[in-house]
Amino acid sequence: MSTPSTSALASPSTSVSTSPDPTIPHTTRLQRWRLVLGEQAKDSCGQPPPNQQAIEKALAALYDPDGPNGLRSRPSGPRSAGRGNSAPTVSRWLGDIRNYFPSSVVQVMQRDALERLQLRQMLLEPEMLEQVQPDVHLVANLVSMSGVIPEETKATARMVVKRVVDELMKKLDEPLRSAVSGALDRSQRNRRPRLSEIDWHRTIRSNLRHWLPEYRTIVPQTLVGYGRKVRRPQREVILCIDQSGSMAESVVYSSIFGAVMASLPAVATKLVVFDTAIVDLTEQLQDPVDLLFGVQLGGGTDINGAIGYCQGLIQEPRNTILVLISDLYEGGVEAGLLRRASELVESGVQFVTLLALSDEGAPAYDRDLASKLAALGVPSFACTPDAFPGLMAATIRREDINTWAAGQGIKTSRAAQAK
């Protein structure tokens, strides 16, 4: 039996419960090693107690798929074509692991099942899809398979995607909205503010030299105020997203952030996805679920063509933020991409490349192209969803993004080049 994914189970040296269900007891260190190593550890770790044997079977079904309890095994009897025998097994297993393990472990095991066993039928049959623990990875898989999902499953798939999108919107909406709105307010200053517009913190700092100790007060000779509300957008943001298969999770998060920013009147948001073709999905930003099902994950990559298209959308370069989300494996004309990047930076566009917008670790990317872009003033780095609101606030305030990233503990391509 192959061992489970190391992230699926906590350290065997820790005595923790493998299930949120209080009826399942905590495991000892020895029992936990048995769960990790499986049947081959019976001599050194002994047999699992009766109330943990079901947990071991659930693990063995995935990590020993050809064994007697494996997901690839079939009942005895005549073999037949199709997947009629295996489907109930997978469906039952999905229900079991949700009973035995917390949701974070369930998500890892589902991912392992898709990658190790290629159990795509998990996502093609409604009764199985209803059993799956929804997460960003599942949404990415559903989006990548949207063209082959049967009609009878599409409604269920849409329901699952909507559930994840709604949860992410609740989590990400307020931080991004607050960061962007606050940065916009503070980037538009005026020196003759009304009382309600006075930025008291900056006003006090600007007038510290006018402190009157005998009166214990400051004379505010200079007032600093927030910018007055304007009807037209103060910033234009273009999200240019690589929809190649490796960027699946980034596409999900980018679409949700794009939908949030599109709801802010002070920001004119556009969203463009590309592989070798370019699709402008700006009109679908009001419904991130529709937007996601409009993405076609997979295919080649023509970054130069996509940046050329985005260049044509820009009306006010000095008020435009262009965020390219790509691993920079260019299948188009690299020299053309570098020329366009130079033109954009020189015109005043704030151009940033995110090598990934996801919760995963360091992404694989074209380091050589990232260094060339960095030399032109286009920083490149991976960004987690939690850090994205801060990034947008920093770009709106026109801060140096390399400095901002360093303050967040993020290594940019420029920093890597310096080493």
Task: Write out the chain's pLDDT in tens, 419 residues.
Answer: 555 654 455 444 443 444 444 444 456 777 777 777 766 666 677 677 766 778 888 888 878 777 666 666 544 343 333 333 344 466 567 667 777 888 778 778 877 777 776 666 667 777 777 777 778 877 887 777 676 677 778 888 888 888 888 888 888 888 888 888 767 655 555 566 767 667 787 788 888 888 888 888 888 888 877 655 545 668 899 999 998 877 888 889 999 999 989 888 888 999 999 988 899 999 988 888 888 888 876 667 899 999 999 999 999 999 999 999 999 999 889 999 999 999 999 999 999 999 999 887 678 899 999 999 999 999 999 999 999 999 999 998 888 999 999 998 888 875 444 33
Q: What is the mean pLDDT of the chain?
A: 78
Alpha carbons 24 and 14: distance in angstroms, whole number: 16
Question: For residue 238, which amino acid is it?
Answer: I
Residues 294 and 340 placed together within one structural domain of the fold: yes
pLDDT tens digits for 260-287? Answer: 898 888 889 999 999 888 999 999 888 8
pLDDT of 272: 95
Give a yes or no: residue 153 inside a domain.
Answer: no
Whole-structure pTM value: 0.65
pLDDT tens digits for 17-62? Answer: 444 444 444 567 777 777 777 666 666 776 777 667 788 888 888 7
Give a yes or no: residue 372 inside a domain.
Answer: yes
Of 307, 314, 318, residue with least CA distance to 341 = 307
Residues 287 and 219 placed together within one structural domain of the fold: no
Residues 323 and 280 placed together within one structural domain of the fold: yes
The CA-CA-CA angle for residues 27, 29, 31, to 5°, reads: 55
Of the three residues 133, 162, 197, the one that is the final residue of a domain is: 133
Separation of CA 382 from chain center: 11
Give a yes or no: residue 141 inside a domain.
Answer: no
Of the three residues 200, 226, 252, the one that is the final residue of a domain is: 226
Give a yes or no: residue 166 inside a domain.
Answer: no
**Burial grade of 145 (CB within 10 A; 0-12, 13-18, 19 or more):** middle
pLDDT of 81: 33
pLDDT of 4: 60
Alpha carbons 227 and 193: distance in angstroms, whole number: 8
Which residues are within 8 A (CB) of 202 and not within 5 positions of it... i.e. 6 or more apart? Answer: 224
Residues 245 and 392 placed together within one structural domain of the fold: yes
3-state secondary structure of 90: helix
Separation of CA 134 from chain center: 14
The CA-CA-CA angle for residues 121, 125, 128, to 5°, reads: 85
Give a yes or no: residue 151 inside a domain.
Answer: no
Rg (CA), the chain: 26
Residues 308 and 244 placed together within one structural domain of the fold: yes
Residues 257 and 364 placed together within one structural domain of the fold: yes
Of 166, 127, 118, 117, residue with least CA distance to 150 = 127
Residues 213 and 310 placed together within one structural domain of the fold: no
Give a yes or no: residue 295 inside a domain.
Answer: yes
Of 382, 395, 388, 396, residue with least CA distance to 168 = 388
Domain range spanning residue 204? 189-226
Instruction: Please report where in the chains the tokens 């435009």 appear, as a residue.
Output: 320
pLDDT of 348: 95
Question: For residue 343, which amino acid is it?
Answer: E
Instruction: Please report where in the chains the tokens 């419904």 appear, as a residue.
Output: 287
Question: For residue 365, which amino acid is it?
Answer: Y
Could you give the number of structural domains in the chain?
3
Give a yes or no: residue 126 inside a domain.
Answer: yes
pLDDT of 324: 97
Residues 36 and 106 placed together within one structural domain of the fold: yes
Of 273, 272, 270, residue with least CA distance to 261 = 270
CATH number of the structural domain spanning residue 378: 3.40.50.410
| Beta partners for residue 267, in sequence order | 235
Residues 37 and 96 placed together within one structural domain of the fold: yes
Give a yes or no: residue 181 inside a domain.
Answer: no
Residues 245 and 315 placed together within one structural domain of the fold: yes
Residues 210 and 284 placed together within one structural domain of the fold: no
Residues 200 and 328 placed together within one structural domain of the fold: no
